[in-house]
Structure formats: structure tokens, C-alpha cells
Amino acid sequence: MIAESQTHKIVKCSIHDHEYCILTSNVATVLQSSALQTNDIVAGHVVGVVKHDNREIPVFRLDERLGIPVTKSSKKDHIIVLTLGSDSYGLVVEDVSRAINVGENAFSPIPELAINKEKRYFRGICNSARAGDEVDAALVISPAGLIGASEPEILGTSADHDFLKIHSSAMTKQLMTFRLPDRPERKFQEFLALSVTQVLEVKETQTLLPVPGTSKSLLGLTAWRNRFIPVLNLNHILGLPNSTETQRLVIARNWQNKLIGFHASSGVQTLRLPIESQATRPAAEINSSFLSATYLTGQGILMLPDLDKVSSPDAVCLA
């Protein structure tokens, strides 16, 4: 837990156009890539050694540890020497910033859906933007978790969601529908539908913060009202084809008041109940276990995602 009056220093490092940050309390020094020695390497993931404190320490590549495609080494690369108690190791990255001062409010925990318990590479999220409404977010690397040494200490505290509390009994007489891409083999137009009480905002899409090592059902994280929300690939989870149409970002909540985001087409409408309908089954390729109901209406097929199931950690990992 970070003390309320405490400030921290971080350095930012980049790999493949993505930024990450590390607390300077874990950084011993930063070396040029020319310091790397690659002779007589025996360990599987070690790319070389560097000399530090009169001894040789192993060096890893950040992209390889995160499981993302490895780029060719460059003379412009840097090696960050990280400390783990009495042990140290080096980490190859592309660029490294100068130290940046951040306050304790800059840190947020990673949402549960974005945590891979077997790959605890990160301690949290740091938003180093100076202005309150701006976002300059990066994942905080855990030097221990990155090499599987120990469970990382979590940074930040969860945002208060009390103002979002709602119960399923509060479902209103209106649905918000999201048109799905046309499928020639389907006789009726298909829609996803949620209670309007579950939809908090429909906004323009924005760049997401990717989280390496997580399920392909998780597209990344988005900032919303001073909190970071997992954005799910709802089409993938439901077994629907991905859309090439213009997308909007939907911020929604399940009946347990957990927040998620997903992309939907710009064809968004509000439907007032009751309407003439009959229960039906979704297409065979659709994963009906993540739907609470499916109806045939004069408008087409309405499929109601069960966001409690969709946003469960097991569902995201399995999908």
C-alpha cells in the first residue's frame, strides 16, 4: 500500500511502440546495448550477460518475457539493470526516459479480468499525465513477476463504484440495441440488447492499453472516469464474426456492478417495452451459454448477453 503523502519516481521504457514503466527503486542503472556479452550462454531465455557490481548478471528481452514478437536487436537498445533484493538482472528495451515524479494517486490496480494469475508481469497501472482529465497510462512492470520469482505487490486502490450500484430488479422498460453485421446466411437481422440501466455510455472508440499475457478475449484497457476498465471482444466470446463497420465503445455494467467495455456498431437504438416477440434459439454457431435470452421480434433477432457470465474470469480465459 502506498502512503498517502508518498511520491514515487518512475522511468518509462518502450518496446514495439508500447510504453511500460518501472519504479526507480527497482532500477540500479541503465546501460547501452554495447555492454551486452553474448558468449557461452546456456540458459534458455537469457540473451547474454552484463557486468554489474563486479559480477556478471543475466539479461532478458522484455518482448520475449511478455510473449510478444521479438524484434531484431539494435544498437539503440538499452539495458535496464533491475534489483531483486541481493540479486539483479538486465532487461533489454528500446528507449528509456528520465526519471518522472508521480504521486500515489497516479497508480491504479489492474482489473481482475486483465490479470493472468500464471503470468503476473505487472504491479498496476500508472497514469503520469499532469492534468486531471488527461491520460498517459502505462503498465507498471514487476521485476519479480516478470521472471516468475514471486507474487508482485499490487499498486493503487480500487475506485469506488458505490455510485454505480444497481440490482437486476431495476431493469427498466427499455432496451438498448446494437445492430450486428449483416450475415447473408441469416434470414433476420441480428441485434445485441441490454437494459438501458446497464449501459453507462456509448462513446467514440479510442486507443486501448494492451495487457500482454492475457486472453485474446481481452482487447485491452480503457480509461473511464478515473478508472481503468477491461474492454472485451464480445463478438469473439459469443462466437460472432468480427465487424468491419464503424465501431463505438460501449461502457456497461453487469448486475454485480462490475464494469466492462465492448465494441458495437454505430447502429444503436432504444427500444421501449413491451413489444411483440417470441422466444427462439440463436444460430448454432453462437455460444448461447453467454446469453440470458433470445427473441424473434418484428425488428429481427434480439440476443441479450448475460454480462455476469461474459465478464467472469473463467469465461474470458476460456473464450
Q: What is the mean pLDDT of each run of 10 residues along the chain (319 residues)?
A: 68 92 96 87 77 93 90 86 92 95 91 88 91 83 89 71 53 84 81 93 92 91 92 92 82 92 89 88 90 92 94 72
- The number of folded domains in the chain is 2
Q: Do residue 201 and residue 153 come from a single domain? A: no
Q: Mark whether 121 and 179 lie in a shared domain.
A: no
Asked if 253 and 232 count as a contact pair (C-beta separation under 8 A), the reply is no
Structure confidence at residue 34 (pLDDT) = 93
Amino acid at 51: K
Predicted TM-score of the model (pTM): 0.87
- Do 147 and 190 have their domain in common? no
Which pLDDT score, from 0 to 100, does residue 63 have? 92
| pLDDT value, residue 201 | 94
Q: Indicate if 220 and 119 belong to the same structural domain.
A: no
- At 171 the pLDDT is 54
Segments forming the whole domain that contains residue 114: 1-158
Q: Are 140 and 179 members of one domain?
A: no
Whole-number Å distance between alpha carbons of 220 and 228: 10
Q: What is the model's pLDDT at position 1?
A: 45
Phi, psi dihedral angles at 297 (to 5 degrees): -125, 175
Q: How many residues are recorded in the chain?
A: 319
What is the rounded CA–CA span in Å between residue 103 and residue 221? 21
Last residue of a domain, one of 134, 158, 182: 158
Q: What pLDDT score was predicted for residue 131?
A: 63
In this structure, what DSSP letter does residue 74 have?
Answer: -
- Cβ within 8 Å of residue 249, ≥6 positions away: 202, 203, 204, 205, 206, 222, 231, 261, 262, 263
Q: How confident is the model at residue 228, as a pLDDT?
A: 94
Cβ atoms of 198 and 252 closer than 8 Å: yes
Distance of CA 66 to the CA centre of its chain: 14
Cell of 86: 541481493
Looking at the structure, tell me whether residues 178 and 253 fall in a common domain. Answer: yes
Q: Identify whether residues 97 and 178 lie together within a single domain.
A: no
pLDDT in tens, 17-75: 899 999 999 999 999 999 999 876 556 678 899 999 999 999 999 999 999 888 777 88
- The string of pLDDT tens digits covering residues 268-289 is 888 888 888 899 999 888 999 9
Same domain, 206 and 86: no
Amino acid at position 52, single letter: H
CATH number, domain of 25, equals 2.40.50.180
| H or E stretch covering 237 | helix 234-238
Last residue of a domain, one of 137, 158, 179: 158
Domain co-membership, 180 together with 260: yes
If we measure between CA atoms, which residue out of 48, 83, 45 comes closest to residue 67? 45
Looking at the structure, do residues 47 and 132 belong to the same domain, yes or no? yes
Give the integer Cα–Cα distance in Å for 27 and 10.
9
Q: What is the pLDDT of residue 304?
A: 95
Same structural domain, 118 and 179? no
pLDDT value, residue 226:
84
Is residue 142 domain-shared with residue 169, that is, in the same domain?
A: no
